[in-house]
Structure 1
Amino acid sequence: MSEQATFGAGCFWGVEAAFAQLPGVISTAVGYMGGTTERPTYEDVCTDTTGHAEVVQIEFDPEQISYTALVEKFWSLHDPTTVNRQGPDFGSQYRSAIFYHSGEQREQAEASRAAADASGRWPRPIVTEVTPAGTFWRAEEYHQQYLAKRGMGSCHL
C-alpha cells in the first residue's frame, strides 16, 4: 500500500525531478498547498497573495523507501534557513515546508527538523514549517515533469 508525502522547497521543478529519481517513489506531481485560494493557478500563486506554497506531492512505497529517507532528501534539496526565499526566487510560495499526512509523519518530520537544526550543517536556524497537509491543487500540466520534458536534469544556478 502506498503513502503520500508533500514538501515545499522552493521552485517545484527541480524538487520534483530529484524526488522522481528515488527508488520507491511511485509518482510525483507538482502543485500548490497551504493557502486559502481554491483552484489556484500558477499566475495566482505568483502574486504571493494566495498563501499557497509550490509543493511536490509524492506517492511512495514505504517498503522500498521510508518517509524519513524522503525527509532527509528534502533537507538536501534547498536552504531550509531562508524565509520565503530559495535562490533567486522569493515570496511565500517558495517557503520551506513539510506538509504531513499522518501523526506518524508529523513526529518524524519534527524529529528530523530538530536533528537537522542541531547538526550545525547550516549557519542559521531552520525555518521550515511542519504543518498538516491540506488540499493539494495540482499545477497546470505544463509544470508536471517540467525538467524531464525539456531534457534538463536540474534548474539550480
Structure 2
Amino acid sequence: MNALRQRLSALVALVALAGCDFAGAGNPPVALPAPARDLPREAAAGPQVAVFAGGCFWGVEAVFEHVRGVRDVVSGYAGGDAASAHYRTVATGRTGHAEAVRVVYDPGQISYGQLLQVFFSVAHDPTQRDRQTPDVGPQYRSQIFTTSAEQRRVAEAYIAQLTAARAFAQPIATRVEPLTRFYPAEAHHQDYLRRHPDAPYIVRYDAPKLVHLQQLLPALYRGD
C-alpha cells in the first residue's frame, strides 16, 4: 500500500470513529451485479470514451482513476454550451451543464458495463435527484452522457435491470442522453483528491469512495 492510500485509509478511519455517515443522505454504497447486457471487450478497438455525471466531479474522478483499465480521467462540464462552461457559471445551476468526468478506458481490460457498475455502486448515489449529499442543484444531477447508440442501449438496459431487481430503496434518478460536447474544467479542479487529500470535503465525502471501491469491487480496483 503506497503513502497516499495509507493516508486516505487513516483519514477514513478517523471519520468513522467520529461516527460520521459517509454516504450522507441517500443509499449506502453497495456491490451491484454486473450488467446483463454489455459491450464486447475488444482490445483491437483502441481507447474508448465514457462520460458520467454524479455530483461533485472531484470524487467521481478519483474513483475512476482507481479503476483497472482506465487510462485517463478529466473533470469537466457536459450538457450546456461552450460560453457557460466555467465553474462559477455552472454553479448557478442555470447553464444546463452537469459537473462530469470523461473516462478514457481500454476495452481490452474493462468493459463499458463494468464502468457503469462502478458508477452506480460507489461513485455516487443514483437515487438523488439534482443533488449529491450536501451539493444541491441540477449541475450535480446523476446523468450518463453516451457517445454511441450502443452505449445508450447498455446504460438504459442496466438501469432497467437494477430497477427490476429493486437494487435501491428509491427510484433511480439517472438520466441517459447523448453527449454533445465535453468541456474540461479549470486546472485546479483536476486530480483534486490526489492534491488535497486532507481537505475536509474530500475526507468527508470522497475518500470513503475509494475504500468502498476496493472493498466492494476488488477485481476492478487498482492502486495509484
Same fold (TM over 0.5): yes
Where does structure 1 differ by over 3 angstroms across 4 or more consecutive aligned residues? 151-155
**Given the alignment of the two structures, is residue 15 of structure 1 paired with residue 64 of structure 2, yes or no?**
no
Bigger mean CA offset, 38-47 vs 98-107: 38-47
Q: Which runs of 5+ in 2 are unaligned?
A: 1-45, 207-224
Partners of 2:125 and 2:76 lie apart in 1 by: 20
Q: What is the match of residue 116 of structure 1? A: 162
Q: Partner residue of 2:222?
A: none
Structure having the higher Rg: 2
Taking the aligned partners of 2:195 and 2:132, their CA distance within structure 1 comes to 23
CA distance in 2, matches of 1:7, 1:88: 19
Larger displacement relative to structure 2 (133-142 or 147-156): 147-156
What's the counterpart of residue 205 of structure 2? Answer: 156
Residue 87 of structure 1 pairs with residue 133 of structure 2: yes
Q: Distance in 1 between matches of 2:68 and 2:51?
A: 17
Root-mean-square deviation over aligned CA pairs:
1.5
Q: Gapped runs of 5+ residues in structure 1?
A: none
Aligned residues: 157
Alpha-carbon distance, 1:140 to partner? 0.1
SS of 1:71's partner is: helix
Aligned residue among 80, 90, 93 for 1:35: 80
Q: In proportion to residue count, which structure has more helix?
A: 2
Letter in 2 for 1:97: Q
Given that 1:147 and 1:154 are in contact with CA atoms closer than 8 Å, whether structure 2 keeps it comes out as no
Query: Would the aligned equivalents of 2:82 and 2:183 in 1 still touch at CA under 8 Å?
Result: no
Indicate conservation of the 8 Å contact 2:84/2:90, yes or no: no
**Deviation of the 1:154 alpha carbon:** 5.6
Taking structure 2 as the reference length, the TM-score comes to: 0.67
